[in-house]
């Protein structure tokens, strides 16, 4: 009889479910794809039902349900920290107790009731162990150092592990409240962006600045000789305040925080606009650049310690900080490891998959399986159902069948921007050619058009290129160690000088691009699309951004796709073998 393990992450952000059968990932999906609430943290009941339906089983057939962390240990930290920081924590403590005593503390019973499993079949992993398992067990490496970097788990904020075969062994950790993830989030909030949402914006903003605040900010994040780091907690408040990560002391160092929604335009940062606008935009950009440089150097610092402690040729990364693609490029370019591997869903969602694989390999003692080469393991819709939905919504779909990639390439070459929905959803936050908005990458004006008319997002944010593997080296300088991360759009690369004129819409202001390298084996339809676009234009690269509008999750179903299509400036919609034009 097959053994089914259901991994669950929830109750903080990015709730998700992963179903593993005999060590093989059957399905993995975030709850936001069902609820349409971005970063939905609620128990992922709908995700679990879909995964079970996908496998053709019921909850009674689930052998083990594993939650991705240990709530009692996290509760211990909450209590210990509240006492240690009293009376400053008196405002946060009642709110925390309402959340814990009302829901999080009685989790075993809630899991049994929500998912229909027996109490004796419920297990609990540890937060960073789940991250480590998600990175190592999905990687192709028999042995590796494993580095997990995020906000906080139970106590750990950064952890180092040794992976060997089916075993994962803890080596070292940095504990609360010292946290790279929370430090970067505090700077994110200072720059006027939402925490757990705006960190990517800070990374993009950093390219417009220079790290001129090192003298002011380096004392805030100190890299220690033993391989760890510490934060000057006197300048931050995430360990005691109910809602603010930093306050007046940080503003005294960096200047006033940016009010959310205050315009930040590349023209002002480049010296155009009123003197005050120029000064403020440049200050924001320089703060972002300084924080980004600090995180990159911290990652390199930790990786060098991992090399000296654990050794080996490979390092596997997970945790929210591992989604920092610029830092991953620095690690691959300058770090001590020959290979870098990053979990595609590196944040909390990935903990669901890691917890399930931990049970299969570590608890049940089973050997390793094949490495993760594809990220399309999420939700899909049968084409007959898609056709029915589109017709009901007045879409008038044209059945183009297997020629959809070629037809889409012709639309792109004609200057159209398309919504591309193909097969199953991607696992993780990156659109990898299954739920993507695609455009011609050659003209810089296309970037502004997609930002303003389709995505409705900030004009300074860059777009990613997807390139066929056969042409990747022609357009991008990709470090050899980043061969795996660029397959999942998890590392930046330098756009070659001779290619910049051909890639105006996807080359960031600093000459970089968060590239996705597409091979024919793992993504055949998308590879065909880009190949045909290259035949038509001479450039086998497309602009690729996630298929969603600002503030919304990536589309999951034909209904979601049609909603985004009709509310944006997209020209054409493709759903598997169906093509829909915008009504004239």
Q: What is the pLDDT of residue 175?
A: 97
Backbone angles phi, psi at 367, to 5 degrees: -75, 165
Question: How far apart (Å, rounded) are the C-alpha atoms in residues 324 and 346?
Answer: 10
152 within some domain: no
Give Cβ neighbours of residue 391 (< 8 Å, ≥ 6 apart).
397
Q: What is the pLDDT of residue 267?
A: 76
Q: What is the pLDDT of residue 243?
A: 85
- Give me the mean pLDDT over the 435-441 stretch: 98
pLDDT at 263 exceeding the cut of 80 = yes
159 within some domain: no
Q: What is the pLDDT of residue 272?
A: 77
Give the domain CATH number at 180.
Answer: 3.30.420.40
Confidence label for 282 from pLDDT (cuts 50, 70 and 90): very high
Backbone angles phi, psi at 29, to 5 degrees: -155, 150
Return left, alpha or beta for 197; rule: phi > 0 is left, psi -120 to 50 is alpha, else beta. Answer: alpha
State whether 83 and 192 are in the same domain.
Answer: no
pLDDT at 103 exceeding the cut of 90 = no
State whether 523 and 456 are in the same domain.
Answer: yes
Widest distance between CA atoms in the chain: 71
146 within some domain: no
CB-CB neighbours of 338 under 10 Å: 12
Residue of 504, 506, 528 whose CA lies nearest to 516: 506
- The domain boundary, picked from 328, 363, 398, lies at 363
State whether 335 and 351 are in the same domain.
Answer: no
State whether 437 and 575 are in the same domain.
Answer: yes
162 within some domain: no
Q: What is the pLDDT of residue 584?
A: 66
Mean pLDDT of all residues in the chain?
95
- Give me the mean pLDDT over the 359-364 stretch: 97
144 within some domain: no
- Give me the mean pLDDT over the 531-551 stretch: 97
State whether 219 and 335 are in the same domain.
Answer: yes
Confidence label for 152 from pLDDT (cuts 50, 70 and 90): very high
State whether 288 and 355 are in the same domain.
Answer: no
Question: How far apart (Å, rounded) are the C-alpha atoms in residues 545 and 486?
Answer: 15
Q: What is the pLDDT of residue 509?
A: 95
145 within some domain: no
Backbone angles phi, psi at 6, to 5 degrees: -110, 115
Question: How far apart (Å, rounded) are the C-alpha atoms in residues 150 and 145?
Answer: 17
Q: How far is CA 448 from CA 192, 412, 456, 457, in A?
A: 22, 16, 10, 10
CB 495 within 8 A of CB 512: yes
Tokens representing 75?
């509760």
- Give me the mean pLDDT over the 17-33 stretch: 97
Question: How far apart (Å, rounded) are the C-alpha atoms in residues 421 and 383?
Answer: 11
Domain encompassing residue 528 = 383-581
446 within some domain: yes
State whether 358 and 438 are in the same domain.
Answer: no
Tokens 């040729």 appear where? 313
State whether 268 and 336 are in the same domain.
Answer: yes
The angle subtended at Cα 431 by Cα 379 and Cα 435, nearest 5°, is 50
Question: How far apart (Å, rounded) are the C-alpha atoms in residues 176 and 239?
Answer: 8
State whether 399 and 512 are in the same domain.
Answer: yes
Confidence label for 206 from pLDDT (cuts 50, 70 and 90): very high
The alpha carbons of the chain give a radius of gyration, in whole angstroms, of 23
Question: How far apart (Å, rounded) are the C-alpha atoms in residues 161 and 583?
Answer: 55
Q: What is the pLDDT of residue 390?
A: 95
- Give me the mean pLDDT over the 97-121 stretch: 87
Number of domains in the chain: 3
pLDDT at 321 exceeding the cut of 70 = yes
Q: Reduced to 3 states, what is the DSSP secondary structure of residue 532?
A: helix
CB 237 within 8 A of CB 244: yes
164 within some domain: no
Question: How far apart (Å, rounded) are the C-alpha atoms in residues 527 and 121?
Answer: 42
CB 558 within 8 A of CB 383: no
CB-CB neighbours of 316 under 10 Å: 30
State whether 465 and 557 are in the same domain.
Answer: yes
State whether 478 and 396 are in the same domain.
Answer: yes
Q: Reduced to 3 states, what is the DSSP secondary structure of residue 572?
A: strand
Give the domain CATH number at 389.
Answer: 3.90.870.20
Q: What is the pLDDT of residue 273?
A: 77
Q: What is the pLDDT of residue 425?
A: 97
Residue of 181, 249, 246, 15 whose CA lies nearest to 110: 15
pLDDT at 242 exceeding the cut of 90 = no
Q: What is the pLDDT of residue 89?
A: 83
pLDDT at 46 exceeding the cut of 70 = yes
- The domain boundary, picked from 310, 342, 374, lies at 342
CB 319 within 8 A of CB 131: yes
Least confident of 107-111, 262-266, 564-568: 262-266
pTM: 0.96
- Give me the mean pLDDT over the 442-471 stretch: 93
State whether 349 and 387 are in the same domain.
Answer: no
């Amino acid at each position: 009889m097959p053994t089914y393990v259901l991994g669950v992450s929830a109750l903080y952000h990015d709730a998700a479910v992963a179903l593993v059968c005999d060590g093989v990932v059957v399905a993995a999906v975030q709850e936001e794809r069902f609820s349409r609430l971005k970063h939905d943290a609620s128990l992922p009941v709908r995700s679990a039902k879909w995964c079970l339906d996908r496998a053709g089983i019921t909850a009674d057939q689930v052998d083990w349900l594993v939650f991705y962390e240990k709530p009692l240990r996290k509760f211990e930290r909450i209590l210990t920290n509240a006492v240690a920081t009293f009376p400053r924590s008196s405002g946060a403590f009642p709110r925390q107790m309402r959340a814990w005593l009302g829901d999080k503390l009685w989790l075993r019973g809630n899991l049994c009731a929500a998912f229909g499993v027996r109490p004796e079949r419920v297990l609990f992993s540890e937060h960073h162990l789940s991250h480590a398992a998600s990175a190592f067990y999905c990687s192709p490496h028999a042995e590796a150092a494993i580095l997990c970097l995020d906000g906080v788990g139970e106590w750990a904020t950064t952890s180092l592990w040794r992976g060997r075969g089916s075993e994962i062994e803890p080596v070292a950790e940095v504990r609360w409240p010292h946290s790279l993830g929370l430090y970067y989030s505090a700077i994110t909030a200072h720059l006027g962006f939402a925490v757990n949402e705006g960190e990517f914006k800070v990374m993009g903003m950093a390219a417009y600045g220079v790290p001129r605040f090192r003298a002011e900010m380096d004392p805030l994040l100190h890299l220690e000789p033993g391989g760890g780091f510490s934060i000057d907690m006197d300048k931050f408040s995430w360990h005691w305040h109910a809602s603010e990560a930093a306050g007046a002391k940080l503003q005294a160092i960096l200047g006033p925080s940016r009010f959310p929604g205050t315009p930040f335009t590349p023209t002002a940062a480049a010296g155009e606009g009123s003197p005050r606008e120029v000064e403020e935009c440049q200050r924001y950009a320089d703060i972002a650049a300084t924080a980004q440089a600090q995180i990159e150097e911290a990652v390199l610092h930790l990786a060098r310690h991992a090399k000296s402690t654990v050794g080996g040729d490979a390092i596997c990364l997970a945790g929210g900080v591992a989604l920092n693609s610029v830092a991953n490029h620095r690690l691959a370019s300058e770090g001590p490891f020959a290979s870098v591997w990053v979990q595609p869903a590196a944040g909390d969602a990935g903990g669901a998959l890691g917890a399930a694989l931990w049970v299969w390999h570590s608890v049940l003692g089973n050997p390793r399986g094949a490495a993760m080469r594809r990220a399309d393991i999420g939700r899909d819709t049968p084409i007959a159902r898609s056709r029915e939905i589109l017709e009901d919504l007045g879409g008038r779909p044209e059945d183009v069948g297997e020629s959809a990639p070629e037809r889409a390439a012709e639309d792109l070459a004609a200057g159209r921007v398309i919504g591309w929905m193909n097969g199953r959803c991607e696992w993780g936050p990156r659109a990898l050619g299954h739920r993507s908005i695609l455009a011609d990458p050659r003209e810089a004006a296309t970037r502004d058009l997609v930002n303003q008319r389709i995505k409705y997002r900030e004009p300074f944010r860059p777009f990613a290129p997807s390139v066929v593997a056969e042409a990747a080296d022609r357009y991008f300088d990709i470090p050899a160690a980043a061969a795996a991360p660029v397959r999942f759009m998890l590392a930046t690369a330098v756009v070659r000088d001779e290619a910049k004129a051909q890639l105006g819409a996807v080359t960031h202001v600093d000459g970089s691009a968060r590239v996705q390298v597409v091979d024919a084996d793992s993504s055949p339809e998308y590879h065909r699309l880009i190949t045909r676009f290259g035949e038509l234009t001479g450039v086998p690269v497309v602009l690729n951004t996630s298929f969603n509008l600002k503030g919304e999750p990536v589309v999951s179903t034909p209904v979601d796709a049609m909603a985004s299509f009709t509310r944006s400036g997209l020209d054409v919609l493709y759903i598997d073998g169906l093509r829909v034009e915008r009504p004239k």
